[in-house]
Structure 1
Amino acid sequence: MEKYDLIIWAHHGMFAAGPDFDTTFGLMHTAEKSAEILVKTLSMTSKKRQTITSDDFRSLARDFNLSLPEEFLYEKE
């Protein structure tokens, strides 16, 4: 929790931290909704039909004035 605001603990749940309740709840809600969408998509097909590239993430982060850890931005084979 020193490095990230959200930790996903496999088979247990999530821990989140933020400056206030609304921000922290929003962070958890976003992660939970993203996981729900992924599970539903994977239940229909194992092939992803749409993807977002690392450069697309960088562009979004720049537009929203956010910083993203480069260690998570890599092209998958």
Structure 2
Amino acid sequence: MSGPPRKHSLSLRGHRTSVSLEDEFWLAFRDIATADGRPINDLAAEIDAARDPRTGLASAIRVFVLNRLRRDVG
């Protein structure tokens, strides 16, 4: 079972920020970035730029991870 979300630091276009994610989502997000050969900060910046401003970055990352895993499984 997952523990509570933990803060993880990111740099988005030179701006430091943090997101609170469960370890499982953070590890899956890092794995996706690695599999794509991309720095995690670049992937986070892309997600940040594409998200609806009413959606938090952590939520956008969770949905990204879920959609990516669904795509890869299906």
- TM > 0.5 fold call: no
Larger radius of gyration: 1
TM-score, reference length from structure 1: 0.31
Between Structure 1 and Structure 2, the one with more strand by share is 2
